[in-house]
Chains A and B, each alone.
Chain A
């Protein structure tokens, strides 16, 4: 029996409650003391279309997806057809056979089938078809040994606002599922079990909530955005909570307005941000260049999705890295940081506001659909780790004529006055300007201004989030990655180690300015390096290769079908190489 290691998938039609049901399960696993990761794979529409929600639970933190689905709860045949190939041999399917049956040729013989009329039971026994989801929870819970007390508690909590009747109905639905298993399936064990641990003081949170919360705690009091999947959660969260802390979140008419509002508020002295995804990011490009030349501290959260153009709005990808680093005409200083976990999403977003104000430049927080819309268990966030450092902001009167907003400085950072301060009046122009802000095309001034602005990138290095090395730091095989791939890579490492292949993994948390020295040292010290990323052209691999020059021992592990990596997809290419070219050790 497999204990405390399971991936459950709920599959059905969008709008039929798979997501809510999945969230209940995630909550149960969490309260049973397990580590949880969830992944939403839903279509870009409100009702109809196949959707699924994956909940992974186990005993190691930093999960991503597993190699296979262990338990599929299929509310229709389409869910079976779409995912039967992803099932682990020995896994199980719970199938609602109210109106459809699974044709014999589609019934894989190496999984256990639990077919029952969930819809019919809901409608006829309980009087409401909607509760078939809840019945499925009872079935699933009984099959894998979930703590039914915790399940009931979570369902009761979720529905208590809707009144006793709804609570009672759902409690009975759980009961009905549990009873059905006892009466019909007791002969066929699922092969999976759960053993409760102590939940302890932990949280379960979605990446986007952690970003928004990090922003608010980090001092953000102005947000403007335009709804776009998968970033909208951040704007909604801020719209709800920012006013409680003296802040505001505005829904703009488009991304052009949103980013320009962020510039306006930041220019005026308020910590400000926007959150968007690829298409919105493209529209914001011009104004981000303006923030660069006007040295305005702005934070831009990029929740990457599959591109180009509309692409697949609800699917994940890491194809906007080049965009964040290189987009726009002209050259500006900019910082790109990327959390690899929900927990890190909080700390890095809070930090982004310090970086923006200390170095007076745009700071991108890069997440992606498989991280920002996923939930994970995490330790309670530690607010004492957040500091607000406003850099060289000037709130006291200055002497007009002496004060120069864009004064040359050794670190490239000039004291930044805000409107309303006596003596600080100046022009902030997108045109090239002198230290006082007066527009000029003087050649010497232009060169010095470029040097001043760009030198901030070097000044910032010491403050940037450090890369993390996971695994055996002396292993001959290296892996480079960032963002949501931290989970699958870390898991791949553990399993490779168990089969005798030692690896080291450098998780980059700052992507720009590129951590050249760390990456060079990492590559120099490895016999082979695998760069794992979700895109076609190997954007990160190119950056890394640019640093070290062309190398035969660099290998790309790419995925660009809109879905996150499963560990086996990282393990296989590494094992293949390890078989062909056994490595004595590090170079």
Chain B
């Protein structure tokens, strides 16, 4: 038995491009902590990210990392899992990546319920392109592309996922590392699609949703000992209520995974026999005679 790895074993030598104080640092360190506490090893972790400040995260996690095109991390991650179920597959990206350009894949991946984890690093702005409105920006948010105020209402990713049949929906805050590590661990261990939306403040462009704002405007559902995370109507209500933003595991459920319903063979796809001379191939041609 190899010795247990530490978060450092999941670090790369690549220096970060994030601004000092960026919420994304908290997400990265919580992820490394969670993976090491779960006894994962880098060679068996596939980490797929999208585009944006958040998308850079794949360069900072020692793993098989894939930094794809904007908004398409989830289809890639789904297929990686189908191709090799022995891998721990995690996708990550920002609110723009997941809820704007990638919204279609988000809904459909939730529906499919592959056994992967999706971390949405939500800073409610487009950071890398210097501060435009995002799908989670509040209505009226003033930015370069919305000088008169953002006309759109924000998307609630968790409500959307719940409506689409999500089986593990959690929300964390990057400045609460201990809870975040726990949420990510639960998510990875969940058998099915797990969503962890992390409120991850942009210290450079978002002057509204700051660390102080989140401390003031959030609460944990677990503060109420009677909160039942298996109750979907209650979860909808919790997510929809005006006022403080709920954090923690909002909803969890169990249903068969995509891998199970796809009737994958026993062995991972990567190890199937590719011999073109298998007799069954010749057999197949009989109906064309």
Interface on A for B, CB 8 Å cutoff? 201-205, 209, 213, 216-219, 221-222, 224, 241, 243-248, 250, 252-254, 256-258, 260-265, 267-272, 286-287, 290, 294, 350, 380-381, 383-384, 386-388, 418-431, 438-439
Q: How far is the CA of A267 from the CA of B14 in the complex (A)?
A: 22
In the complex, what's the smallest C-beta–C-beta distance from B28 to chain A, in angstroms? 14
Q: B83: CB under 8 A from chain A?
A: yes
State whether B281 touches A265 (Cβ < 8 A): no
Q: Which residue on B lies nearest to A405, using beta carbons?
A: B64
Task: Give the residue of B58, B77, B262 whose beta carbon is less than 8 angstroms from that of A248.
Answer: B262
Q: A256, A290, A427 — which one has the most chain B CB atoms within 10 A of its CB?
A: A427
State whether B285 touches A248 (Cβ < 8 A): no
* Complex A-B, nearest 8 residue pairs according to Cβ-Cβ distance, in ascending order: A264-B79, A246-B272, A268-B83, A264-B76, A419-B64, A261-B79, A429-B67, A260-B75
Q: How far is the CA of A272 from the CA of B80 in the complex (A)?
A: 11
Q: A204-B288, A264-B83, A268-B46 are in contact. Are A424 and B64 (CB under 8 A)?
A: yes
Q: Which residue on B lies nearest to A256, using beta carbons?
A: B72
A and B contact pairs by CB, cutoff 8 A, 30 listed: A245-B272, A247-B269, A248-B264, A252-B75, A253-B105, A254-B104, A257-B108, A260-B68, A261-B78, A263-B76, A264-B76, A264-B78, A269-B270, A272-B83, A287-B69, A350-B276, A383-B276, A383-B277, A383-B281, A387-B276, A419-B87, A420-B87, A421-B43, A422-B43, A425-B65, A426-B65, A428-B64, A428-B65, A431-B67, A439-B67
State whether B68 touches A219 (Cβ < 8 A): no
Interface residues in B51-107 (C-beta closer than 8 Å to A): 51, 58-59, 62-69, 71-72, 74-80, 82-84, 86-87, 104-105, 107
Interface membership of chain B positions 16-34, coded 1 if the CB is closer than 8 angstroms to chain A and 0 otherwise: 0000000000000000000
Q: Which residue on A lies nearest to B264, using beta carbons?
A: A248
State whether A429 touches B59 (Cβ < 8 A): yes
State whether A219 touches B274 (Cβ < 8 A): yes
Cβ–Cβ < 8 Å partners of A381 in chain B: 285
Cβ–Cβ < 8 Å partners of A216 in chain B: 281
Q: Which residue on A lies nearest to B104, using beta carbons?
A: A253
Q: How far is the CA of A546 from the CA of B46 in the complex (A)?
A: 44
State whether A203 touches B288 (Cβ < 8 A): yes
Q: How far is the CA of A262 from the CA of B78 in the complex (A)?
A: 10
State whether B288 touches A246 (Cβ < 8 A): no
State whether B263 touches A203 (Cβ < 8 A): no
Q: B48: CB under 8 A from chain A?
A: yes
Task: Give the residue of A205, A264, A425, A426 whose beta carbon is less than 8 angstroms from that of B288.
Answer: A205
Q: How far is the CA of A429 from the CA of B76 in the complex (A)?
A: 13
Q: How far is the CA of A438 from the CA of B269 in the complex (A)?
A: 29
Task: Give the residue of B42, B269, B277, B285 whose beta carbon is less than 8 angstroms from that of A384.
Answer: B277
Task: Give the residue of A248, A262, A388 whose beta carbon is less than 8 angstroms from that of B269.
Answer: A248
Q: How far is the CA of A222 from the CA of B77 in the complex (A)?
A: 14
State whether A386 touches B276 (Cβ < 8 A): yes
Task: Give the residue of A241, A261, A418, A430 whose beta carbon is less than 8 angstroms from that of B284.
Answer: A241
State whether A263 touches B86 (Cβ < 8 A): no
Cβ–Cβ < 8 Å partners of B71 in chain A: 256
Cβ–Cβ < 8 Å partners of B104 in chain A: 253-254, 256-257
Q: Which residue on B lies nearest to A429, using beta carbons?
A: B67
State whether A257 touches B270 (Cβ < 8 A): no
State whether B288 touches A420 (Cβ < 8 A): no
Cβ–Cβ < 8 Å partners of B79 in chain A: 222, 224, 250, 260-265, 268, 272
Interface on B for A, CB 8 Å cutoff? 12, 14, 42-44, 46, 48, 51, 58-59, 62-69, 71-72, 74-80, 82-84, 86-87, 104-105, 107-108, 262-265, 267, 269-270, 272-278, 280-282, 284-285, 288-289
Cβ–Cβ < 8 Å partners of B265 in chain A: 243, 246
State whether B288 touches A427 (Cβ < 8 A): no
State whether B270 touches A248 (Cβ < 8 A): no
State whether B46 touches A419 (Cβ < 8 A): yes
State whether A418 touches B270 (Cβ < 8 A): yes
Q: How far is the CA of A101 from the CA of B43 in the complex (A)?
A: 75
In the complex, what's the smallest C-beta–C-beta distance from A378 to chain B, in angstroms? 9
Q: A241, A387, A430 — which one has the most chain B CB atoms within 10 A of its CB?
A: A430
State whether B14 touches A438 (Cβ < 8 A): yes
Q: How far is the CA of A203 from the CA of B269 in the complex (A)?
A: 31
Cβ–Cβ < 8 Å partners of A421 in chain B: 43
Q: Which residue on A lies nearest to B266, using beta carbons?
A: A246
Q: A384-B277, A422-B43, A424-B64 are in contact. Are A264 and B285 (CB under 8 A)?
A: no
Cβ–Cβ < 8 Å partners of A247 in chain B: 269, 272
State whether B66 touches A250 (Cβ < 8 A): no
Cβ–Cβ < 8 Å partners of A258 in chain B: 75
Q: Which residue on A lies nearest to B83, using beta carbons?
A: A268
Cβ–Cβ < 8 Å partners of B288 in chain A: 203-205, 209
Cβ–Cβ < 8 Å partners of B63 in chain A: 425
In the complex, what's the smallest C-beta–C-beta distance from A234 to chain B, in angstroms? 15
Q: How far is the CA of A421 from the CA of B270 in the complex (A)?
A: 12
Q: How far is the CA of A426 from the CA of B47 in the complex (A)?
A: 10
State whether B83 touches A270 (Cβ < 8 A): yes
State whether B42 touches A430 (Cβ < 8 A): no
Q: Which residue on B lies nearest to A241, using beta carbons?
A: B284
Q: How far is the CA of A423 from the CA of B12 in the complex (A)?
A: 13
Q: Which residue on A lies nearest to B275, using beta carbons?
A: A388
Q: A204-B288, A256-B105, A260-B72 are in contact. Are A267 and B80 (CB under 8 A)?
A: yes
In the complex, what's the smallest C-beta–C-beta distance from A156 to chain B, in angstroms? 16
In the complex, what's the smallest C-beta–C-beta distance from B277 to chain A, in angstroms? 6
In the complex, what's the smallest C-beta–C-beta distance from B105 to chain A, in angstroms? 6
Q: How far is the CA of A430 from the CA of B66 in the complex (A)?
A: 8
Q: How far is the CA of A420 from the CA of B42 in the complex (A)?
A: 9
Cβ–Cβ < 8 Å partners of A268 in chain B: 46, 79-80, 83-84, 87, 269-270
Q: Which residue on A lies nearest to B63, using beta carbons?
A: A425
Q: How far is the CA of A260 from the CA of B79 in the complex (A)?
A: 8
State whether B270 touches A427 (Cβ < 8 A): no
State whether B83 touches A269 (Cβ < 8 A): yes
Q: Which residue on B lies nearest to A428, using beta carbons?
A: B66
Task: Give the residue of A267, A380, A425 whose beta carbon is less than 8 angstroms from that of B76.
Answer: A267
